[in-house]
């Protein structure tokens, strides 16, 4: 009874909030459903015939979860997934409530699999409620220190949660991130590892954003034979001899192609080569992560290949729109490690780029903006054809970019629409404008650009 | 929150630089600023790199040579080799390792440096370590190096963390930044606050003081990074640092248009009442 009431309430809220065109209507329905029936996630998750998998970590959650969804569909499964950006418990509740029928049953229950992207700090709570078959940890970077606290706080939270996981849970871990790979020390069940073997992708010395420089177990400074980005690479601890474990799923080669890349993955069941419409090494990690989770779920190689090949960009993650004859690409900026990867990807071909950078300091962006000083914006120097700076903390960003050598007289425009207009006008027809916003600025920018590009409202962008 | 009264703010001892030589040059200087950055890999959590970049940029812009030395665990500190010392903030685990090194390796030399009016800036975790001790949320006591007459105590895991934009009044001007600390810092009689809180929490959320000063050692919770958008404070430290070997210095003005805009934007956002508090 209560469950039905919760589902009805969630659906009504979702419909209403979409009708009012408010923020994609992602959080509220779950909140309402949880209020009506607090045990809803547990009840509904238990009815998913294929169980659930969680995707957590600092960067790559949304894209990876999206890739896994595509793979599951190719494997004939019917995923139940939360919408991007709603990765707290209420987002999971909303996804379950909206996918179930009025009586709390799923159509084709035997093919149903829950795929939930969850916030790093919320993961233990969600895991207790939905009792997942597998949990994927992408990476652990410095992110919104005002919200999550220190990196070590999150790592400790994860280790504590893992100790209470049943042995049936498979962990999918990034072998190249020492903070994530070390979670296998406390794993009670099976572990599937993924990583990058292709050493030609090395990114040089440790960046300023590198965090896990120290062995969590013995405190020694880690040594690297290859650093890919941030603290991801082929690492070993000279103190206690822990070292990067050999991945089960590995990126054995990566080749940049027009509008994307070609990635070859080695898996336990064979090699897979796919062309992805996504660029950048970080997306190769996302592809490897998705394949590793699919392996953990027992999905065959053919479905992995087809699922990855059919991928499209997630909302605000290298999503492409066309406005007034210019290609506009929106790439979310979240934290130093992520932005460093975005910059490397944008500047890879050496041609000067047109940019609009947005810095907000709302809770979802991180109220503390000091992280911009840990980003290697210096890599943009000499690679910028035009630049507009916007967002609530536009002048802080302008100052950071001035330090990076991008000019003493930056073009600052606080109004998002005016800033985007100016940036588009500064981009020649046929050219590409890169819009790099923080989270809440991304929602605004995406809405404005979507309107100009004649696309539907933004919640339809993430299918 | 009551602001500190004027006499209280200026009560502490501010001594003249001890080693000012007979040939004081009043004009723009062309010297060298030798900066020691302590524990750059361990203590770098809140964009502290921006402070180092600021020192460097504001020296080079005036043809003042800039030499940066990074000192980590185990490296000795030579009090005569530097004009300016910087230490930033860290995670708890790293802070413990630094505390050991400060006590066993660098402590005495740093004391000699500070007592000899050496200029130093300590931010956040580095600031806490300059005091007598830090008691963490679980009650563990971490001894500090004791260069500043203060101590810091975390009231426990359920206590409110002091997080947010902060503005303080310093020498009649404003300093803007962001604070994020669980520990409450209390000053003894031999340290005076760096400034008085205009908005934010400051040292302990109670007495209206923020940061601490003793001789030329400055400690503060403000990051953001602190110095790039507070160029007047950066210049104050640079001038103090150069004065030791060059006599009184007058720094040539720089083009600070963007710096000043960033300062006033931060000031505006911190001091208006935050109406929009929507979540993610």
Task: Give the DSSP letter string of B33-81.
Answer: EEEEEESTTTS-TTSTHHHHHHHHHHHHTTT-EEEEEEE-TT----TTS
Judging contacts by C-beta atoms under 8 Å, the chain B residues touching residue A219 are 93, 97
Last residue in a domain, options A251, A279, A309: A309
Distance CA A281, CA A278 (A): 9
Contact B93 A367 (CB under 8 A): no
Distances A131 to A114, A166, A336, B195 between C-alpha atoms, Å = 11, 9, 32, 52
- For residue A109, the model assigns a pLDDT of 93
Judging contacts by C-beta atoms under 8 Å, the chain B residues touching residue A403 are 50, 53-54, 57, 228
Distances A412 to A331, A367, A398, B66, B257 between C-alpha atoms, Å = 19, 20, 7, 31, 12
Q: Establish if A102 touches chain B: CB-CB under 8 angstroms.
A: no
State whether A351 and A239 are in the same domain.
no
- Residue A119 in contact with residue A83, Cβ under 8 Å? no
Half-sphere exposure of A424 (CA within 13 A, CB side): 21
- For residue B10, the model assigns a pLDDT of 39
Q: Establish if A394 touches chain B: CB-CB under 8 angstroms.
A: yes
Write out pLDDT tens, residues B153-162: 999 888 899 9
Q: Establish if A121 touches chain B: CB-CB under 8 angstroms.
A: no
The closest alpha carbon to B223, from B146, B145, B122, belongs to: B122
Contact A439 B280 (CB under 8 A): yes
- For residue A416, the model assigns a pLDDT of 97
Of A27, A208, A399, the CB nearest to B262: A399
- Residue A422 in contact with residue A413, Cβ under 8 Å? yes
DSSP string for B190-226: T-B-SEEEEES-TTTSSSSEESEEETTEEEES-BSST
CATH code where residue A72 lies: 3.40.1190.10
Contact B280 A374 (CB under 8 A): no
Distance CA A121, CA A26 (A): 19
Provide the annotated active-site residues of B.
124, 223
Of A363, A408, A412, the CB nearest to B280: A363
Q: Which domain holds residue B182?
A: 27-271
| Residue B74 maps to a domain | yes
DSSP string for A198-214: -GGG---SPPTT----B
State whether A300 and A416 are in the same domain.
no
| Residue B216 maps to a domain | yes
CA-based end-to-end distance of chain B: 30
Count CB-CB contacts under 10 A for residue A155: 19
Last residue in a domain, options A278, A309, A340: A309
Count CB-CB contacts under 10 A for residue A377: 20
Q: Establish if A403 touches chain B: CB-CB under 8 angstroms.
A: yes
Cα torsion A158, A159, A165, A169 to 10°: value is: 80
Find which of B90, B180, B223, B258 to mutate to test the A interface (most A CBs within 10 Å of its CB). B258
Of A361, A373, A402, the CB nearest to B47: A373
Backbone φ and ψ of B43, nearest 5°: -110, 80
State whether A95 and A214 are in the same domain.
yes
Count CB-CB contacts under 10 A for residue A92: 31
Q: Which domain holds residue A288?
A: 2-309
Q: To the nearest whole angstrom, how far is the Cα of B240 from the nearest Cα of chain A?
A: 23
Q: Tokens 């507070």 appear where?
A: B230
In this predicted structure, the answer to whether residue A432 has a pLDDT above a threshold of 50 is: yes
Contact A142 B45 (CB under 8 A): yes
Residues 6+ apart with CB under 8 A from A448: A416, A417, A420
- For residue B227, the model assigns a pLDDT of 98
| Residue B8 maps to a domain | no
The lowest-confidence range among A282-296, A411-425, B29-43 is: B29-43
Of A367, A371, A393, the CB nearest to B265: A393
Distance CA A337, CA A398 (A): 20
State whether A158 and A113 are in the same domain.
yes
The closest alpha carbon to B195, from B229, B233, B160, B241, belongs to: B233
Contact A145 B164 (CB under 8 A): no
State whether A258 and A334 are in the same domain.
no
Q: Please count the structural domains in chain B.
A: 1
Residue of B nearest to A391 (CA): B265
Contact B163 A146 (CB under 8 A): yes
State whether A285 and A363 are in the same domain.
no
- For residue A455, the model assigns a pLDDT of 59
Of B92, B224, B257, the CB nearest to A370: B224
| Residue B82 maps to a domain | yes
Contact B178 A367 (CB under 8 A): yes
Q: Tokens 């409110």 appear where?
A: B160
Write out pLDDT tens, residues A303-360: 999 999 988 877 677 778 999 999 999 999 988 888 988 898 888 888 999 999 999 9
Contact B265 A370 (CB under 8 A): no
- Residue A152 in contact with residue A273, Cβ under 8 Å? no
CATH code where residue B218 lies: 3.40.50.880
Q: Please count the structural domains in chain A.
A: 2
Judging contacts by C-beta atoms under 8 Å, the chain B residues touching residue A410 are 258
Pairing mode, strands A134-137 and A52-56: parallel
State whether A84 and A159 are in the same domain.
yes
User: How many interface pairs between A and B have CB atoms less than 8 angstroms apart?
Assistant: 105
Strand order in the sheet with B84-87: B65-71, B32-38, B84-87, B119-123, B217-220, B212-214
Contact B92 A368 (CB under 8 A): no
State whether A305 and A328 are in the same domain.
no
Token couple for A278: 């996504």
Of A146, A150, A408, the CB nearest to B255: A408
**Percent of chain B's residues with pLDDT above 90:** 72
Judging contacts by C-beta atoms under 8 Å, the chain B residues touching residue A363 are 277-280
Write out pLDDT tens, residues B92-141: 778 888 999 999 999 999 999 999 999 999 999 999 999 999 998 888 89
Distance CA B170, CA B230 (A): 11
Judging contacts by C-beta atoms under 8 Å, the chain A residues touching residue B277 are 363
The lowest-confidence range among A22-31, A317-326, A393-402 is: A22-31
Average pLDDT over residues A14-37: 70
DSSP string for B139-165: S-EEE---SSSEEEE---TTSPPEEEE
Write out pLDDT tens, residues A43-76: 999 999 999 999 999 999 999 999 999 999 999 9
| Residue B5 maps to a domain | no
Last residue in a domain, options A309, A336, A360: A309
Decide: helix, strand or coil at residue A105: coil
Distance CA A104, CA A106 (A): 7
Contact A412 B257 (CB under 8 A): no
- For residue A348, the model assigns a pLDDT of 85
Q: Exposed (0-12), middle (13-18) or buried (19+): which is A189, by Cβ within 10 Å?
A: middle
Judging contacts by C-beta atoms under 8 Å, the chain B residues touching residue A151 are 91
> Using DSSP, how many helices (H) and how many strands (E) does chain A show?
15, 17
Contact A409 B53 (CB under 8 A): no
Count CB-CB contacts under 10 A for residue A358: 28
The overall average pLDDT reported for chain A is 89
- For residue A461, the model assigns a pLDDT of 37
DSSP state of A325: T
Alpha-carbon torsion A361, A366, A371, A376, what sign? negative
- Residue A300 in contact with residue A75, Cβ under 8 Å? yes
State whether A364 and A297 are in the same domain.
no
Of B94, B258, B266, the CB nearest to A402: B258
Task: Give the residue numbers in B contacting A (CB under 8 Å), as ranges.
Answer: 41, 44-50, 53-54, 57, 91-94, 97, 163-165, 178, 180, 223-225, 228-229, 255, 257-259, 261-262, 264-266, 269, 276-280
In this predicted structure, the answer to whether residue A270 has a pLDDT above a threshold of 60 is: yes
Distance CA B243, CA B247 (A): 4
């Amino acid at each position: 009874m209560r469950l039905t009431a919760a589902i009805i309430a969630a659906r009504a809220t979702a419909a209403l909030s979409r009708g009012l065109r408010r923020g994609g209507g992602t959080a509220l329905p779950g909140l309402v459903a949880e209020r009506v029936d607090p045990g809803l996630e547990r009840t509904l998750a238990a009815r998913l015939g294929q169980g659930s998998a969680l995707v957590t970590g600092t960067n790559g959650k949304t894209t990876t979860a999206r890739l896994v969804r595509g793979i599951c569909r190719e494997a004939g499964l019917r995923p139940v997934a939360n919408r991007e950006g709603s990765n707290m418990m209420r987002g999971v509740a909303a996804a379950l409530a909206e996918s179930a029928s009025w009586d709390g049953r799923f159509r084709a229950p035997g093919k149903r699999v829950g795929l939930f992207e969850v916030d790093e700090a919320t993961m233990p709570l969600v895991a207790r409620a939905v009792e997942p078959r597998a949990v994927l940890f992408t990476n652990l970077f410095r992110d919104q220190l005002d919200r999550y606290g220190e990196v070590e706080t999150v790592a400790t939270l994860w280790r504590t949660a893992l100790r209470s996981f049943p042995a049936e849970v498979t962990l999918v871990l990034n072998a190249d991130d020492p903070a994530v790979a070390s979670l296998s020390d406390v794993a009670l069940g099976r572990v599937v590892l993924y990583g990058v073997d292709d050493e030609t992708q090395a990114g040089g010395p440790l960046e300023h954003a590198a965090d896990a420089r120290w062995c969590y177990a013995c405190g020694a400074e880690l040594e690297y034979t290859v650093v890919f980005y941030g603290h991801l690479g082929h690492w070993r601890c000279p103190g206690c001899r822990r070292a990067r474990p050999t991945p089960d799923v590995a990126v054995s080669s990566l080749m940049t192609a027009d509008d994307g890349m070609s990635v070859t993955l080695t898996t336990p069941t064979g090699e897979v080569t796919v062309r992805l419409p996504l660029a950048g090494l970080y997306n190769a990690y996302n592809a490897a992560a998705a394949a590793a989770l699919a392996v953990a779920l027992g999905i065959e190689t053919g479905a992995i290949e087809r699922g990855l090949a059919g991928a499209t960009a997630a909302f605000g993650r290298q999503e492409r729109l066309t406005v007034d004859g210019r290609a506009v690409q929106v790439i979310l900026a979240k934290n130093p490690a992520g932005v460093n990867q975005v910059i490397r990807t944008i500047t890879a071909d050496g041609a000067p780029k047109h940019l609009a950078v947005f810095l907000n300091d709302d809770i979802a962006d991180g109220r503390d903006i000091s992280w911009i000083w840990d980003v290697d914006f210096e890599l943009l120097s000499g690679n910028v054809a035009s630049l507009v700076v916007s967002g609530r903390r536009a002048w802080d960003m302008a100052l950071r970019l001035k330090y990076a050598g991008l000019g003493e007289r930056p073009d600052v425009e606080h109004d998002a629409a005016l800033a985007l207009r100016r940036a588009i006008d500064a981009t020649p027809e046929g050219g590409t404008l890169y819009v790099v916003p923080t989270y809440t600025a991304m929602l605004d920018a995406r809405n404005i650009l979507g309107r100009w590009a004649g696309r539907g409202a933004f919640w339809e962008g993430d299918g | 929150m009551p602001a500190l009264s004027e006499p209280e703010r200026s009560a502490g001892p501010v001594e003249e630089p001890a080693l000012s030589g007979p040939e004081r040059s009043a004009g723009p200087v062309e010297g060298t600023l030798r900066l020691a950055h302590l524990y750059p890999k361990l203590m770098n959590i809140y964009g502290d790199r921006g402070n180092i970049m600021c020192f460097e940029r504001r020296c080079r812009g005036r043809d003042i040579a800039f030499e940066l030395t990074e000192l980590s665990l185990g490296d000795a500190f030579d009090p005569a080799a530097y004009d300016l010392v910087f230490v930033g903030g860290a995670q708890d685990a790293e802070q413990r390792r630094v505390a050991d090194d400060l006590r066993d390796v660098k402590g005495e030399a740093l004391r000699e440096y500070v007592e000899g009016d050496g200029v130093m800036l300590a931010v956040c975790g580095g600031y806490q370590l300059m005091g007598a001790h830090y008691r963490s949320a679980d009650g563990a006591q971490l001894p500090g190096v004791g260069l500043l007459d203060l101590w810091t105590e975390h009231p426990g895991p359920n206590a409110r963390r002091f997080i947010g934009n902060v503005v303080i009044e310093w020498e009649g001007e404003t300093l803007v930044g962001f604070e994020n600390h669980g520990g409450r810092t209390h000053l003894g009689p031999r340290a005076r606050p760096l400034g008085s809180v205009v908005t934010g929490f400051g040292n302990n959320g109670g007495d209206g003081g923020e940061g601490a000063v003793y001789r030329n050692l400055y400690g503060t919770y403000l990051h953001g990074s602190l110095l790039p958008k507070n160029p007047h404070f950066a210049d104050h430290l640079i001038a103090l640092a150069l004065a030791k070997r060059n006599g009184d210095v007058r720094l040539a003005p720089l083009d600070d248009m963007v710096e000043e805009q960033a300062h006033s934007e931060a000031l505006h956002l911190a001091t208006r009442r935050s109406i929009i508090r929507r979540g993610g």
